[in-house]
């Protein structure tokens, strides 16, 4: 066993050994002729990125420092007042809590489920190949379509409760009408949707685990669990990083499912997430300035958490 670990770590040292770099004096001279052409090719992308990403972010930042309300002009500069108000706003705090709960559930369940399914499907057979397509289907479907389907399944008169009643359950749970359950139902739907993504990423990771390492570990007497813990799992670290970061981002920006399935209910704020709250404040309450502050906090939170998690997970990655 110790040998196996040594092989993996040894490979990491080899892989991370710095390659010879061109001297500082020569590099600009080679790049300079190409820079103009690069800029030209990058132009459409830069324009699109500037218009549809950077500009809205800058405008959101600006609006967050105002009291902008299209129905109550004039717009005035209010400094950080919106951010101060946020800290004591129970609706924001409820939305933040809901978002964190959804994100944690989605990140853990989709990762665990995705890994299990990927290990089951990691076989060279046409059936398993077809099953990979089946598991990936929800990823390419629109969230709205998925929400409509799941609403039909989870309403009190829906498919699930009809089946439960058929099995003799007289009072099946109100998956969407019970305030205690609705948030978990939403988390489950997002998990289901993201499962296929995790499966594909883990499958790619599993297929990248060198067979000789597995064989060496087996020769050393390692059982299935030990091989997974000491060979497969360390080699899946890049897949774990990708999945975790993507799931975190998906969880933090959950909106479509809530809008279609619960509208933030049942009741006040039961399933409202930060993204839902941003839209509600802006287009129901007309508080564009306040909503922009909420969006700015959400952006900072998603970016901050993603960067920290990315750094932490990348530290344990090994490469071949």
Q: Which residues bind another protein (CB under 8 A)?
A: 32-33, 35-36, 39-40, 43, 46-47, 50-51, 55, 70-73, 151, 154-158, 174-179, 259-270, 282-286, 288
On whether the CB atoms of residues 8 and 318 are closer than 8 A, the answer is yes
| Cβ atoms < 10 Å from Cβ of 319 | 13
| Six token digits for residue 315 | 């530290």
Between 50 and 304, CB nearer to another protein: 50
Q: How many CB atoms lie within 10 A of CB 233?
A: 15
Taking the least distance from each CB to another protein, the nearer of 14 and 43 is 43
Nearer to another protein, 181 or 305 (CB): 181
The rounded distance, in Å, linking the Cα atoms of 296 and 197 is 28
Rg (CA), the chain: 25
Structure tokens at 89: 């706003």
Select 51 or 112, whichever has its Cβ closest to another protein: 51
Quick one: which of 228, 229, 238 has its CA closest to 208? 238
Could you give the CA distance from residue 306 to residue 16 in angstroms, rounded to a whole number?
Answer: 24
Specify burial of residue 240 (Cβ count, 10 A radius: 0-12, 13-18, 19+): buried
Question: Which residue(s) pair with 77 in the sheet?
Answer: 66
Minimum CB separation from another protein for residue 3, in Å?
55
- What's the min distance (Å) between Cβ of 276 and another protein? 12
In whole angstroms, the minimum distance from the beta carbon of 30 to another protein comes to: 13
């Amino acid at each position: 066993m110790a040998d196996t670990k040594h092989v993996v770590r040894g490979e990491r040292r080899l892989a991370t050994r710095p390659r010879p770099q061109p001297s500082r004096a020569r590099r600009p001279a080679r790049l300079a002729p190409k820079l103009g052409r690069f800029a030209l090719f990058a132009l459409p992308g830069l324009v699109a990125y500037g218009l549809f990403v950077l500009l809205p972010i800058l405008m959101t930042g600006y609006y967050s420092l105002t009291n902008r309300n299209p129905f109550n002009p004039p717009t005035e500069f209010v400094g950080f007042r919106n951010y101060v108000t946020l800290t004591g706003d129970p609706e924001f705090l409820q939305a933040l809590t809901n978002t964190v709960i959804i994100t944690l559930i989605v990140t853990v369940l989709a990762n665990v489920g995705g890994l299990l399914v990927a290990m089951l499907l990691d076989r060279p057979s046409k059936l398993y190949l077809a099953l990979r397509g089946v598991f990936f289907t929800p990823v390419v479907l629109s969230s709205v379509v998925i929400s409509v389907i799941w609403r039909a399944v989870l309403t009190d008169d829906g498919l699930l409760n009809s089946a439960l009643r058929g099995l003799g359950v007289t009072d099946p749970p109100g998956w969407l009408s019970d305030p205690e359950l609705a948030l978990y139902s939403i988390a489950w739907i997002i998990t289901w949707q993201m499962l296929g993504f995790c499966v594909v990423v883990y499958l790619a990771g599993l297929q990248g685990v060198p067979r000789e390492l597995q064989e060496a570990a087996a020769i050393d007497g390692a059982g299935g669990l030990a091989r997974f813990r000491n060979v497969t799992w360390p080699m899946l670290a890049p897949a774990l990083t990708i999945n975790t970061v993507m799931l975190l981002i998906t969880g933090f920006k959950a909106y479509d499912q809530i809008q279609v399935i619960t509208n933030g209910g049942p009741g006040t704020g039961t399933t409202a997430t930060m993204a839902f709250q941003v839209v509600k404040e802006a287009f129901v309450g007309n508080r564009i300035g306040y909503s922009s502050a909420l969006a700015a906090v959400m952006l900072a939170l998603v970016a901050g958490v993603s960067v920290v998690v990315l750094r932490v997970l990348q530290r344990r990655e090994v490469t071949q």
